[in-house]
Chain A
Amino acid sequence: MKVLHIASNTFRECVRDKVLYNLVIFAVVIIVSSLILGAITIGDVKQIIINLGLSTISLFGTLIAIFIGIQLVHKEIDKKTVYSLLSKPVARHEFILGKYLGLSMTLAVNVSVMILGVYAAVLYLRHFFQASDVQILLAGILILIELMLVIAIALLFSTFSTPALSALFAFCLYVIGHFNTDIRQYGVSSDSWVTTVVASAMYYLLPNFGNFDIIARTAHSQFISADIYLFGAIYGLSYSLGLLLVAMWIFQKRDFK
C-alpha cells in the first residue's frame, strides 16, 4: 500500500519534470514527421511509419528511463528528502519498489500515448486496420518491458553511484546488451575453452536486449508467434526483478551520512 503511495508521488514527480516533456514532445514530432516522410518516398509507407514510430518510442523511452532513472534514488539522498521519508513507518525496500513503479507507470503512460499516435497515423494512411496491426500494440508492450529493464539498471546504479557514472554505466550496458549474441558466438567459435566459458557466462549474466528485437518484423507485418512475446516478457521482468532485489539489498545496507 505504502509502495503505491510512493509510486504515485514518483509519478507526480516525473510528470512535473521538464525533461520528460521535452523528450515526449520530440518523440511525437518524429512520429508525425514520419507521415510527411511517407508522403515523399516510394515504397511501403505503413512499414516506415511503424518502423520509425516503434523505434522512436524505444529510443526516447530509453533516454527517459536512463536520465530520470539515475536520479530516482540519488536525488532523494542528495537532497536529503530520504531522511525524513525513512523516519516514517516505511521499509527501505518499499521505497525502492515505489520509485521503480512510479517511473514505470510514467513510461507506461508515455508508451501508450505514442502507440495511439502510431495507430492514428496508420489509420490516417490506410483508413482501416488489418488483423496483423494488433502486433503494434504487442510490440509496444514488449518495448515497455524492455524500458522497465533499463529503468531497473539505472535505478540500481542510482543507489550507490553518482548520476554521471550511473548514466555512463547504464548506457554501456545498453549498448553491450545489443551485441550480446555476437559475444557469445565469438566465444563458441573460439579455440580456447576459457574464452568460450567466459563468453557464455557474459551472455547469461549481461542483459540481452536482443530478446526484445521485434520492431523490424512488426513493421513488415510478419507473423510473430505468441511465445516470442511471452518469453521476451518473462525474461525482461525476471531480469528486472533480479536487479531490483540487488538494489534493495544495497539500499538496505547503506548508511545515510
Chain B
Amino acid sequence: MPQVVILTQGLSKTYRTGFWKTKPVLALDNLNLEVFENEIFGCLGPNGAGKSTTLKLLMSLIYATAGRAEILGESVFNLEARRHIGYLPESPYFYEYLTAEEFLTYYGSLFGFSRSELKARVDHFLKLTDVFHARKLQLRKFSKGMLQRVGIAQAIISDPKVVFLDEPMSGLDPIGRREVRNLILQLKREGKTIFFSTHILNDVETLCDRIAILNRGKVIGSGTLNELFDQEVSHVEVVLSGISAEKLRELVGPDVSVSQSGSTSRLELPAQAPVSGIVAGIEQASGKIISINPVRQTMEDYFLKLVGKPERRATPRLRN
C-alpha cells in the first residue's frame, strides 16, 4: 500500500473582500486530496481555479477557514517537517542584490547545515540546475529561465522528500520548458514526490501520474489520466472530393456530420460506423478519398468540456 505523502481533508478557504471586509469570496471549497509517494501529481485548472490557493495552504502561507492538511504525516504548521519539503513559488523573484551562490547559501543556512556541508550542497545543486557558471553573478542579471532553475535549486537544496512547484513552466521558452521537465523527471527518479500546479495541459499529459482538476475552487475530477477520460477512438474523419453533398448525404445517412470546404468534403463518422463500407460506396460513386483519420479525444477536449460549460456565476472568480 503506497504511503500517503500529502493529505487534505475538507480544506477550504474563504477570503473576505470589500471595503469593510464583509463580502466573502470562496477560493477553495472542501478539497479532499491524497498524493502518494514518488508520484508526480498535477493540479490542473484555469486561472482563478484555486491552484495557488491550494499550494499556499499547503505551505502555510495562508490559513484555512476549514479542514486540515498534512504533509508526510505532520501538520503543515510543523516547522521541523519543512526540512523535507521544497517549494518553488509562481513567477518567483529572488533577492536581486545577491549572487546565485550567496542566495543558495543564505537559504541553505536556514537548515542548519555545517559550513562545509552547505558549500558542498550549494555547489552540487548549482551544477544540477546548470547555473554553476553564473554563480558569482547577481540574480538581477539572470534570465527568466535561469531564475527558474535557481528557484528549483533552492527548492531542493535540503534534498526534500516532497517538492511543490507552482506553475514551474510559466514564461519559459521551449528549451527552458524542456530543462525543467527533465529536472522534474530526475527528481522522480530520485524517489521524490512532486506536486505541481499548472494550466498547461501538455505538461500534465507528459509528466503526471495522477491529476486533480480544479475549477472555481472545487475539484471536478481526479485520478489517473486513463481513469479520467476515454482515450479510445471517438470518431473517424474522412476527407474526400468529387462527390456532391446530396449524393454524400444519401450514402452516409442522417447521423453523420458532413462539411464542405471548396471542392473537398469532410465526414465525421462515429467510431462504430461501417467505415470500410462507406469508403467503398464513395469510390463506387467515383469519389476520391484524400485521407482517413481515427480521432481520439484529446485532453483538451475533455478539459474544455469539463470546464468550458457556462455555469451560473454563484460566486465571483478570484484571481490566482
Contacts and interface: CB of A to CB of B under 8 A. Distances in A.
Q: Do A and B share a complex?
A: yes
Nearest to B107: A88
Interface string B126-160: 00000000000000000000000001001100100
Contacts of A79: 93
Contacts of A2: 109-110, 112
Contacts of B93: 79-81
A90 interface: yes
A80 B89 CA distance: 8
A192 interface: no
B89 A90 contact: no
Contacts of A90: 79, 110
Contacts of A256: 56, 61-62
A91 interface: yes
B88 A89 contact: no
Contacts of B61: 83, 86-87, 255-256
A81 B63 CA distance: 19
B92 interface: yes
Interface residues of B, number: 35
Give the bracket for the number of chain A residues in contact with chain B: 20 to 34
Contacts of B151: 84
Nearest to A75: B95
A36 to B, nearest CB: 36
Interface string A1-21: 110011001001100110000
Contacts of B266: none
Contacts of A87: 59, 61, 82, 85-87, 164
Contact of A80 (B63, B86, B92, B111): B92
A191 B152 CA distance: 68
Nearest to A87: B87
A12 to B, nearest CB: 8
B89 A83 contact: yes
Contact of A13 (B62, B86, B87, B95): B95
A255 B63 contact: yes
A87 B154 CA distance: 11
Nearest to B93: A79
Interface string B68-110: 0000000000011011011111011111011000100011011
14 contacts: A5-B109, A9-B98, A12-B98, A12-B102, A16-B97, A80-B89, A83-B61, A83-B89, A84-B88, A84-B94, A86-B59, A88-B107, A89-B83, A90-B110
Given A87-B85, A256-B56, 4 more contacts: A9-B106, A80-B92, A83-B61, A88-B82
